[in-house]
Structure formats: C-alpha cells, structure tokens
Amino acid sequence: MGKKEFKAESKRLLNLMINSIYTNKEIFLRELISNASDAIDKIYYKALTDENIVFNKDDYYIKLVVDKEKRTLTVSDTGIGMTKDELENNLGIIAKSGSYTFKNENEIKDGYDIIGQFGVGFYSAFMIADKVSVISRALGSENAYKWESEGAEGYIIEESNKDSVGTDIVLSIKSNTEDEEYDDYLETYTLRSIVRKYSDFIRYPVKMDITKHQLKEGSESEYEDLVEEQTINSMVPIWRKNKNELTDEDYNNFYQEKHYGFDKPLKHIHIKIDGAVSYNAILYIPSEMPFDFYTKEYEKGLELYSSGVLIMEKCPDLLPDYFGFVKGVVDSEDLSLNISREVLQHDRQLRLIAKKIRDKIKDELALLLKNEREKYEEFFNKLGKQLKYGIYQEFGSNKEVLQDLLLFYSSKDKKLITLDEYMERMKEDQEYIYYASGESLDRIDKLPQVDFIKDKGYEILYFIDEVDEFTIKVLHDYKEKEFKSVSSADLDVEDDNEECKDESNEEDKNLLDSMKDLLAGKVKDVKISKRLKNHPVYLSNEGEVSIEMEKVLNQMPNGEGIKAEKVLELNNNHKVFEKLKDAYKNNPEKLNLYTNLLYNQALLIEGLPIEDPVEFTNNIWELLS
Ligand code: ADP
C-alpha cells in the first residue's frame, strides 16, 4: 500500500513537533497515556450499557515496555482500539481541528507555547521519536492494523497482527543530539518519574517492568537481576479522596511534594463540586509570601487537570491577581484536554470554576477572620497588601469581594480592626470614617491634626502602607460612610474650641496674606487653624492628592512633580502667633525668617523633605544667637 499524505493542518502541526526545540519534550508520555486512558474509558462506558462486555478491572491497564537494543519505547493499552478507518481518520488528521487553527507561519514559532501549555495529543510523540507505529485492534474485530509514519511526508496503513484488543504505540526513539539526551526516554527511572509527575492520577494502572538487582535467595554474596512488574502511578489523586480520609499532614505533604512553598500552609481548602460543572480542587493559603512573589518570574495560577491528567501547570485564569499567592490544583471532567490556551481563557466552564474558586477563597478568609482572628492577622500582615492592591488595581470593581477582608490599625489601642468594627464603634453624630497617614503608628499618633479628631472622641484609622490611601480613594465609602483624611483642609468638624479667635480680624488677615506671599508656589493658602491645640503649625491639604500620596508618587518613575495642594494652618492661641504678629508689624525680615521656619517644620512633621536643610539650620542658628 502506498504512502498517504497528511492533511495540510496536520502536516504543519507535525512539522512543529518534529522540529521542536521545546525543552519539555517529556510531555509526549502524558499525551499518550492520556489517550490510552481514554481508550479504556470507552470500554468502561460501553460495558455500562452492553451486557456482552464485562469490565473486569484487572484486565485494563497501560503498559510501558522499553527495548534498549531496538531503541523503542512501547506504550500499550487494553482500551477500545481503532479500526482501519479510525486509524486513518484519527491519526491522519487532527482530531479537534478547532483547537489549532494556525493563522500564519509565525504561529509555528508561537507553537512553542501551545506545546508547553497543553501538549498536542498524539503528534507530540514526534518530538522524541523519528518513527511511530500504531498497532491496533478494535473491540469486536478479529483483525489488527498498523499505522506508521516517519514524519511529515506521510503515513502508511497496513494489516498487522495483535492477539488482544487494544493499541500498541511503538516509538523509535531519536538518536542523541548535542542538545538533547533522547536516550533518557529508554531509562525506566526517567519514565517512572515522568509518569509520576504528569500521570500519577490516571484512573488505570500504568505498569512497567522494573529490574531489581538483589541478593540471590539464600546467598550472601551472589546477586541476580529480578524483573518485577510494578504499577508506577498512584491512581487516586488526593483531591478526589474524601476529606474525612485525609489528615492535615496529608494536605501539608501534598503542599511540599508539589513544591508550592517552603512554609507550612496557613490553611487548605478542599472543594468537591458535583454540579453543572463538576470539579475537585485543593487550594492553599500560604503562611509566608512566596519568596519570589515580587519578581518577574513569579506566575500566579493553579495546576489544572482534566480527569486526572495535567493540562497546565499554572493556569492564571483560575485566580484573580489579588489572590495570586494561592496555590493548588483544580481537576475537572468538564474540560477538554487538548484545548488551546486562547480557547481556554474564554472557556465558559473554566470561568465558572474561577468564579467559584474566588468566592470560596473569600469565604474561607472571612471565616478565618471571624473564628481565628490571630491567624487571620498573621495572614494579613504578610499578604494583606495584595487585597489592598486588588481594590486599587481593578478600580474598585471587587470592592464587594475584598472590603470586608481589610484590616487597618486604629487610634484606639493601635490594634488591627475591620471597617465593620470601625462602623460599629462610630459615634452617633459621626459623619466620616477618619484616617491619618504616616510612616509609623507612633508618628501618626503624634500628628497635631490627629489629636483634634481624637479629642472629639472619634476613632481614626492609621495608614502605614503606601497603598492605603490609594485603596481608600478607590473605595470612596464603606456602607455609605465616606472616608476622610484628618489632614484634609475641609474637615467638616464642628469647632467647639471657644478660645479660637475668628480670623476675620483685619490685622490677622493681613499677616496671613503676607505669609502666603512669602510662601508663594509652596502652599496654596495660609490660614488660622480650627484644630490645633498645643502645636503652632501644621499642613493640611486640599484636592485629590494628599501629602502621603505625593510622597509615594514622587518615588515612582513619572510621578515626580506631582504635588499635594498644601495649606499652612496656624494656631492663633500659640505664643508663636504673637511673635508673628509682632514681626509683621515691626520687622519684615523676621517675618520671612519665621514663616520659612514654620513651613519647614510643618514639612518635617508630615515626613516630607525640607527643601534646603542648610538654610533651615542656619535660620535656627540665627534665631538662637
Ligand atoms: P485527542 O486525544 O485530543 O482526540 P489525539 O491526536 O491525541 O487527539 O488523538 C486523536 C484520536 O485518536 C483520539 O481522539 C482517539 O480517538 C484516537 N486515539 C489516540 N490514541 C488512541 C489509543 N491509544 N486508543 C484508541 N484510540 C486512540
């Protein structure tokens, strides 16, 4: 029989495989074992409805056989087999043509990614073999046929012999090259580790003859080689097991085995859903930030299995960025194995699973917060920043998911509290949720503007993370109470400081105006403060950009030059104010000196750099002498 040609698409895919420089060639075995497992499944399902077929579990298995001399690896299964037509139709063309529609030649290069993420079925065998023979006998047939190909030129199909139903795939392993040790695929230990890595959870046994070099029975010095058939996969994935069969240790071991992290996970979440979309998942919340989390190399994602077969080591679409630290596996029967990355992203089932997973993580964190506060705070201190970024980055669209998981330090006892706890303790007349930003709790606690709000009996959230104010800006309000910075110039708080004189006093007004002139370009306004008690001066701000934000933005590329609109507020009950008035009347130069000093002090209190430290210290000396 003459050689037949592959269909165009198949030919291109085949070429992609043959010339692949893909480093993870070992996945070919995953693909073949998965096909074998599917073929056994088909008999299994037939047996459910056809009483002529008895499905005796022991008769169904996959076997790997190595022949080092012939340089062949054979993957056999006792599955449903293929008829002549099926060999032709299944292996001559791509089964699911929809999955790989190459748009142009460049995609051959991009194909690198296709192989990496999904493997590409049977043809991946051509990454490691220069000839592939498929000998198959279909269920209910007496004849066997052989399909054989040495690459893109074509294939032959001819009659063959096979004693029992099933398929043998004989791979003639390529010779070693400079870059690739193909010989490895003829080593049982390599094959065993590949099987354990990718196909451990296949439902049927994957068997292999293992040669054991051991002492002869009854002898003390003589050795013999014993060949023993072993099942090399464990067959039952931990996520399929019942929760009550598993101990914390089992879960922790799995975490280690999978190299999810060096830490002990803070919490595991085992999900088993049988529904419109069925899936099992085990998720872990780590107790430590993954060590490479802030590097470019870090990829978020969950391991994705389809019926026990690994299809993707890190499926990013299963996790939102703000839960990017979560590790784990998802296994669903409702996902197809050979699905391209692009299609997967838009897969309805996958999106549904992703949403469920997100909600589950959220619920579990909420439970932890409710029931194991200490543990939650530990989590939040290490990983909570991600949740704040989450709100900020997605413009508040996940507000509902995340806002109740946030914790902030409070002016009362300097402990972490939730927004809800803040709300509960709010005074009846209180209109805003107050916050103050700074470098540390201590520094915030000493800010003049903080005293004022505290004296009113209002609680203040202390923001010490750079992202805090940005997060709160995006949140805007919590249960309809707006957030308000204690530094904002329009702090609508009733002033009950009796001694505070009205600034409408003409003389004071003129003083403030000339100070404003002296500080032109630096502050937007100079005014008498309604909130200062003991301090002579502080900076409040108007507009959208706060002083803390200015600090953060100025550290970023392109953020330089972004300035908060600052207002210098003065305490007219302070002795300094008398000095200012005096200088204004009698000594304009002194007024300039005082104004600059006060402004720079206000900057220092806010943790902002002063513009000219040398001038500032000189001014102090001048004042002292
Ligand atoms: P996919 O597995 O995604 O369908 P493949 O290219 O791996 O794509 O396989 C194409 C088809 O060949 C399969 O759908 C199946 O019908 C058939 N096939 C492959 N391997 C076997 C096997 N070991 N036993 C029976 N049929 C097989």
In a domain, 207, yes or no: yes
What domain count does the chain have? 3
Taking residues 490-512, report their average pLDDT: 67
Look up residue 608 and give its amino acid.
L
Tokens of 439: 């470098």
Is any ligand 1 atom within 6 A of the Cβ of residue 243? Answer: no
In a domain, 570, yes or no: yes
164 and 143 in a common domain: yes
pLDDT in tens, 44-100: 888 878 888 888 889 999 999 999 999 999 999 999 999 999 999 888 765 443 344
Q: Checking DSSP bridges between strand 279-285 and strand 327-332, what pairing results, if any?
A: antiparallel
pLDDT in tens, 376-424: 999 999 999 999 999 988 777 888 889 999 999 999 989 999 999 999 9
293 and 180 in a common domain: no
Enter the pTM of the model.
Answer: 0.66
548 and 514 in a common domain: yes
Domain boundary among the residues 213, 231, 249 is at 231
Residue 116, pLDDT score:
47
299 and 279 in a common domain: yes
286 and 188 in a common domain: no
Ligand 1 centroid distance, CA of 168 (Å)? 12
pLDDT above 50: residue 362: yes
* Structural domain of 282: 238-373
Atom of ligand 1 nearest to the CA of 99: 3
Looking at 122-126, 448-452, 458-462, 570-574, which range is the least confident one? 448-452
226 and 255 in a common domain: no
Is any ligand 1 atom within 6 A of the Cβ of residue 78? Answer: no
In a domain, 340, yes or no: yes
Domain boundary among the residues 325, 355, 373 is at 373
In a domain, 66, yes or no: yes
161 and 116 in a common domain: yes
Ligand 1 centroid distance, CA of 38 (Å)? 8
Query: Among 379, 432, 434, 427, which residue's Cα sits nearest to residue 407?
Result: 379
In a domain, 407, yes or no: no
Is any ligand 1 atom within 6 A of the Cβ of residue 546? Answer: no
pLDDT above 70: residue 106: no
87 and 112 in a common domain: yes
* φ, ψ for residue 266, nearest 5 deg: -70, -35
Look up residue 593 and give its amino acid.
L
DSSP code, position 4: B
In a domain, 560, yes or no: yes
pLDDT above 50: residue 104: no
Q: Do residues 7 and 93 lie in contact, with contact meaning Cβ atoms separated by under 8 Å?
A: yes
Domain boundary among the residues 373, 391, 418 is at 373
227 and 249 in a common domain: no
Q: Using CA atoms, how far apart are residues 520 and 522, in angstroms rounded to an integer? A: 5
Residue 572, domain CATH: 1.20.120.790
Q: Do residues 523 and 537 lie in contact, with contact meaning Cβ atoms separated by under 8 Å?
A: no
pLDDT above 60: residue 590: yes
Ligand 1 centroid distance, CA of 37 (Å)? 10
Ligand 1 centroid distance, CA of 348 (Å)? 24
69 and 173 in a common domain: yes
177 and 38 in a common domain: yes
Tell how far CA 139 is from the center of its chain. Answer: 46
Residue 285, domain CATH: 3.30.230.80
Residue nearest to atom 12 of ligand 1 (CA): 90
